[in-house]
Amino acid sequence: MNDIFNIGLTGLTAFQTAMNITSQNIANVQTPNYSRRQVNLQEGLFGTGVNVGSINRIYDASTSANLQNCTSNFSASNNLLTGLNTLEPLLDNDSNNTAKYINDTIASLQQLNTDTSSIQGRTLYLNQLSAMTTQFQSINAQILTQQQTINTQLSSVAQDANSVLVSIAHINDQIANSPATTDISSLLDQREQLVQGLAKYLNFTAANDSNNILSISLNNGLQLVGGNQAVTFEMVPDTSYPTNLDIAIDNGSTSVPLNSFVNGGEVAGLLTFRQSLNLAAQGMGRLSLAVAGSINAQNQLGMDYNGNLGADIFTDINNPVSLTNRVIPNTGNTGTANLTVNVNDLTQLTTSDYQLQFKTATTYTLTRIADNTVVSSGSVGTLPQAISADGITINLNSGAVAAGDQFIISPTRGAINNMNMTISDPKLLALGFPVAGVATTGLGSDGTIEITAMTDTTTSAFSTPKQLNPPLKVVFLSPTSYQIQNANTNAVMEGPITYNPQAGTNVFPTPGGYDPGYRVTISGSTIKTGDVFNIEYNNNGNSDNRNGLAIANLYSQGMLDQGTSNYIQAFNLVSGAVSQQTNAIQTQYDSNQILKEQAQNLFEQVSGVDTQEETVDLMRDQEAYQASAQILQTAKSVFDDVIQMLRS
């Protein structure tokens, strides 16, 4: 009799528990990372009813690891895409496009070239140049801001990750100290949530031991959490680029940066975006060097409105500040070498940074970082010494290098920081050539003289302001020969020199090697003996546009990449690279999102709560509970019957 009561009671208890668990499951239907519980009923021994054998937490470590991986990958591409989506409009934007600013300058210059004496036209061109410079500076400033934002974001990731690591270690500790009989399911759920949360920040491997203690380590084996111990992340300046902060593990005495061990999660996204920003900054920097360097050089070859030789329009690209800023010493250097870097050939200049490494105090290797190619190597003697490659010259000025010293050579990255307009007077635009040729030919002569190009205005020919030193005369001795005379003294400087009546002749440099810094072509098939061509300073030439045309040519000419990219094309390379990367990352993001959703679904399929299933369970358990109650009822009535019987 007692057995029936007991059996009924075990049924009530068991189904009560089952209904509790079902309710718990239903209540947590929306709880993230909640793993549903399942009650396993067990037959009581020797006819003693039913027992709750175990309450299982339905959880599969492999689906969890899969979700964690997919979360890391998704979060990396999500973070990178967010960054790129802010960078792309900066460079690729219809209303505020840098290409448009460049085009505006050439449009105003083309117009100015129809009348270079117009102060209004000169002012407009100068204003357009200034607007373009401001645009360069503004893009550069925004890239710089985004780079600083990355530092901030990495720091906050490090902080959050630190607290997650500490919490995981703490839960490990709680689990280790729980009595064997305690239900640790909710601790495991909490830890699961922390682990999946950590996966958003970085990728790692989580391993559960037989005692449910979770250890977390990076892919290279570096342990982040072991038992109740967690490492601490800290921010350290990058050894190569000290303005960048890296997340590092504090080992007490040393800091180990994570950069090369993490390829998932927000950290990876931020680090990749840092590279994208770098590329954009380098590309824009190179463009600014091309614009400033080439326009400066051409303006120096010209003659301004006042009749003086032209000067720089923009800050000299090799100004003392830039020379120094292009060198970033490694934070661990021990030598005393003082380095500066000149940019001397724009057509060779790449966007890449370079690593200059001194393996010993007497040998160096210069590596182009973009494609990891050694572009120069050799020995180092007593300074000064110069190393040239890719259009730059690295000057080792003074001091001494020590073995192991490293320098980052960054010719382009900060270039825009030092790009400014140095003139504001429109008259200083040097749009004419300082040299004029006048043909004083005799009858029946078709001789013409043309100054075809200016090559150097620092020669002795230009040592006296507003004069040629000396002015020259090309005097024809016969229809096929001429001599060059000093026009002031009539002294013969060189000749006779052969003249080619069919093709004309380039006068300079002369066969004797005289090069005054300009190029002159004399042509004509019927030049007569005694014809004279004067070469003199271009006085009164404020409408001369020959140098203006030469500056306009810079816009269509390939200034960069061995002559294949002009300004606009160079800019399009920068913005195109960002667009291409954004496109690729968008695709990656889309697929990572699907993978992550699938992983989430897989996880939920195993561990998630299905309310329909739970409802059915609840109804079934309710039935069973009611039946168990009926057992008690029956037992009671049987007992009552017996008592009644005994009474009667």
Q: Name the 3-class secondary structure at 216.
A: strand
Q: Least distance from C-beta 544 to other proteins, angstroms?
A: 4
Q: Least distance from C-beta 114 to other proteins, angstroms?
A: 5
Q: Least distance from C-beta 127 to other proteins, angstroms?
A: 17
Q: Answer yes or no whether residue 538 interacts with other proteins by CB under 8 A.
A: yes
Report which of 547, 486, 481 is spatially closest to residue 516, judged by C-alpha positions. 486
Report which of 398, 404, 440, 434 is spatially closest to residue 534, judged by C-alpha positions. 440
Q: Answer yes or no whether residue 60 interacts with other proteins by CB under 8 A.
A: no
Q: What angle do CA 497, 435, 508 make, to 5 degrees?
A: 25
Q: Name the 3-class secondary structure at 10.
A: helix
Q: Answer yes or no whether residue 442 interacts with other proteins by CB under 8 A.
A: yes
With CB under 8 A as the rule, give the number of residues binding other proteins.
63
Instruction: With beta carbons less than 8 A apart as the criterion, state whether 35 and 189 touch.
Output: yes
Q: Answer yes or no whether residue 30 interacts with other proteins by CB under 8 A.
A: yes
- Range 121-125, long-range pairs (CB < 8 A, 24+ positions): 122/305, 122/426, 122/427, 122/429, 122/431, 123/426, 125/426, 125/429
Q: Answer yes or no whether residue 446 interacts with other proteins by CB under 8 A.
A: no
For residue 40, count other CB atoms closer than 10 A to its CB. Answer: 11
Q: Least distance from C-beta 266 to other proteins, angstroms?
A: 21
Exposed e or buried b per residue across 185-195, where buried means at least 16 C-beta atoms within 10 angstroms of its C-beta: bebbbbbbbbb
Q: Answer yes or no whether residue 131 interacts with other proteins by CB under 8 A.
A: no
Q: Answer yes or no whether residue 478 interacts with other proteins by CB under 8 A.
A: no
- 84's enclosing H/E stretch is helix 61-91
Q: Answer yes or no whether residue 283 interacts with other proteins by CB under 8 A.
A: no
Which of 6, 13, 24, 118 contacts other proteins by CB under 8 A? 118
Report which DSSP code applies to 102: H
Q: Answer yes or no whether residue 604 interacts with other proteins by CB under 8 A.
A: yes
Q: Least distance from C-beta 617 to other proteins, angstroms?
A: 11
Q: Convert residues 511-530 into a mask of x (bound to other proteins by CB under 8 A) and - (unbound).
A: -----------------x--
Tokens 């934007």: give the residue: 93
Q: Answer yes or no whether residue 582 interacts with other proteins by CB under 8 A.
A: yes
Which of 284, 609, 624, 631 contacts other proteins by CB under 8 A? 609
Q: Answer yes or no whether residue 123 interacts with other proteins by CB under 8 A.
A: no
Which residues neighbour 89 within 8 Å (Cβ) at sequence distance 6 or greater? Answer: none
Q: Answer yes or no whether residue 615 interacts with other proteins by CB under 8 A.
A: yes
Distance CA 78, CA 87 (A): 14
Q: Name the 3-class secondary structure at 427.
A: helix
Q: Answer yes or no whether residue 477 interacts with other proteins by CB under 8 A.
A: no
C-beta of 173 vs 536, nearer to other proteins = 536
C-beta of 50 vs 570, nearer to other proteins = 570
Segment contacting other proteins by CB under 8 A, of 41-49, 174-182, 399-407, 579-587: 579-587
Distance CA 451, CA 595 (A): 68
Q: Answer yes or no whether residue 430 interacts with other proteins by CB under 8 A.
A: no
C-beta of 432 vs 516, nearer to other proteins = 432
Q: Answer yes or no whether residue 128 interacts with other proteins by CB under 8 A.
A: no
Which of 400, 549, 595, 632 contacts other proteins by CB under 8 A? 549
C-beta of 346 vs 578, nearer to other proteins = 578
Please state the separation of Cα 395 from the chain's center in Å. Answer: 27
| CA end-to-end distance (rounded Å), the chain | 20
C-beta of 38 vs 388, nearer to other proteins = 38
Segment contacting other proteins by CB under 8 A, of 148-156, 178-186, 204-212, 438-446: 438-446
Instruction: With beta carbons less than 8 A apart as the criterion, state whether 234 and 251 touch.
Output: no
Instruction: With beta carbons less than 8 A apart as the criterion, state whether 538 and 454 touch.
Output: no
Handedness of CA 174, 179, 180, 183 (dihedral sign): negative
Q: Least distance from C-beta 344 to other proteins, angstroms?
A: 29
Q: Answer yes or no whether residue 66 interacts with other proteins by CB under 8 A.
A: no
Report which of 147, 374, 113, 379 is spatially closest to residue 241, judged by C-alpha positions. 147
Q: Answer yes or no whether residue 453 interacts with other proteins by CB under 8 A.
A: no
Q: Least distance from C-beta 599 to other proteins, angstroms?
A: 12
Q: What angle do CA 72, 74, 80 make, to 5 degrees?
A: 100
Instruction: With beta carbons less than 8 A apart as the criterion, state whether 597 and 124 touch.
Output: no
Q: Answer yes or no whether residue 92 interacts with other proteins by CB under 8 A.
A: yes
Instruction: With beta carbons less than 8 A apart as the criterion, state whether 428 and 272 touch.
Output: no
Name the residues that contact other proteins, by CB under 8 A.
29-30, 84, 88-89, 92, 99, 103, 106-107, 110-111, 113-118, 432, 436-438, 440, 442-444, 450, 528, 538, 540-546, 549, 552, 556, 568, 572, 575-576, 578-583, 586, 597, 600-601, 604-605, 608-613, 615-616
